[in-house]
Amino acid sequence: MSFLELTDLRKTYGDVVALENFNLTVEKGEFISLLGPSGCGKTTTLQMIAGFTEPTAGKIVLSGRDLVSVPPAKRGLGIVFQSYALFPHLSAAENVAFGLDMRKVDRASRDERVREALAMVGLKGYEDRFPRRMSGGQQQRVAVARALVIRPEILLLDEPLSNLDAKMREEMQGELLSIQRRLGTTTILVTHDQQEAMALSNRVVVMSKGRIEQIASPVEAYNHPASPFVASFLGKTNTLSGEVRGGTLSVGDYRADVPGADGPVAVTLRPEKMRFDATGLRGTVASRVFQGNSWSYHVDTAQGEVLVLRQNDGQPLPVEGEPVFVSWSPADMGVHREGARHG
């Protein structure tokens, strides 16, 4: 039996289906990301785990105990909100102490734990500061300390880094990860930022339009996306149409052996996995942009424009207007039969 089991979760608002067929099991200590564009159902899922939204159907079981019937105040989960939701009328220490007060922790050990928690997030000496007088990053740290000090069974992070600037975000990612690894708290992160999800989590749950598209490790999801949607959401992707006949795939002049039934397919390819070759998909270099460590190519082909990323490793590379053949290793491509959902 897994630590957290979400079974057949479903949420509808009137006729609108916000979430359906949601099945996920989370192991203790895992860092899971719910990843998708806005409106994909990731926040709804988090709200249901937290207890602020009631599922229309389905089960949420934590360590064998049904959570749906437990009011949110009794679930014992730590939540970091997008707006941080700090209590503006309480100091940093009082914010962190709030959950301990609710649990009637005695004063001495409460103060000790508050001190530890603030020190853990690097806010030693900020105990008496009020949220208004703190930077976004500091407020974020208080929010994390407040959520963790109650030793929650699960830490829920709702787009926690989206209000920070790029540099701060990267720094906080590193700290979140090290804190999570140190405490081993099972963590569920909701985000629309694929880079953030891939950097932090053991597994990502890619969602679209209220459904799960793929559950996999970041590497697996990136290299072998289960659908064209996952492929394009997790990074730059070329989606080409091809056809399988008698075990052979054709994309223009490109040929590869592919098992499975005949029919039209969508082929997804990462730009950095494509190379210029003597044979393959015929095209012309429309433009190329120098990016320091690489060159980014736009190649016009009969299949449409193809993006190719080549390392700047001193090898000779084609120039604009040059006819080229684009090729790739069959292991690097995703082949999606028609009928599979598109993003």
Partner 1 sequence: MKRNGPIALIFHAFFVTFMVAPILVVCVVAFTSHGYLSLPTDGLSLRWFREIANYPEFVRAFWTSIYLGAVSSTVAVVLAVPAALAFSRYDFTGKGALAAFFLSPLMIPHVVLGIAFLRFFTQGGLSGTMAALIISHIILVFPFALRLTLSAATGMDRSIESAAISLGAGNLTLFRRVTLPLILPGVISGWALSFIQSFDEVTMTVFLAAPGTETLPVRMFLYVQDNIDPLVTSVSAVVILITMVALMILDRLYGLDAVLSGHSDRNS
CB 101 within 8 A of CB 128: no
CA distances from 341 to 180, 212, 269, 338 (A): 35, 11, 17, 8
User: Of 202, 160, 211, which is closest to residue 37 (Cα–Cα)?
Assistant: 211
Query: Nearer Cβ to partner 1, position 105 or 267?
Result: 105
Percent helix, strand and coil across the chain, each rounded to 5?
30, 35, 35
CB of 83 to partner 1, least distance (A): 5
CB of 133 to partner 1, least distance (A): 17
Query: Nearer Cβ to partner 1, position 113 or 336?
Result: 113
CA distances from 305 to 8, 46, 174, 195, 293 (A): 40, 38, 37, 25, 22
Q: In what order do the strands lie in the sheet with 203-208?
A: 78-80, 154-158, 186-191, 31-35, 203-208, 211-216
- Phi/psi for 317 (5° steps) reads -125, 150
Cα gap 268→232, rounded to integer Å: 8
CB of 131 to partner 1, least distance (A): 10
Q: In what order do the strands lie in the sheet with 304-311?
A: 274-277, 323-328, 281-290, 294-301, 304-311
- Phi/psi for 49 (5° steps) reads -65, -40
CB of 11 to partner 1, least distance (A): 17
Query: Nearer Cβ to partner 1, position 86 or 231?
Result: 86
Residue that the structure tokens 């054709």 belong to: 250
Cα gap 223→257, rounded to integer Å: 19
Q: 3-class SS at 179?
A: helix
Query: Nearer Cβ to partner 1, position 76 or 136?
Result: 76
CB of 72 to partner 1, least distance (A): 5
Dmax over Cα atoms in the chain, in whole Å? 76
CB of 79 to partner 1, least distance (A): 5
Query: Nearer Cβ to partner 1, position 84 or 233?
Result: 84
Where on the chain is the footprint of partner 1 (CB under 8 A)?
50-52, 72-79, 81-83, 85-89, 98-99, 102-103, 146-147, 150
Query: Nearer Cβ to partner 1, position 142 or 335?
Result: 142
User: How many Cα atoms within 13 Å fall on the side-chain side of residue 113?
Assistant: 22
Query: Nearer Cβ to partner 1, position 21 or 69?
Result: 69
DSSP string, 115-133: HHHHHHTT-TT-TT--GGG
CB of 150 to partner 1, least distance (A): 6
CB of 98 to partner 1, least distance (A): 5
Query: Nearer Cβ to partner 1, position 155 or 231?
Result: 155
CB of 110 to partner 1, least distance (A): 13
Query: Nearer Cβ to partner 1, position 98 or 126?
Result: 98
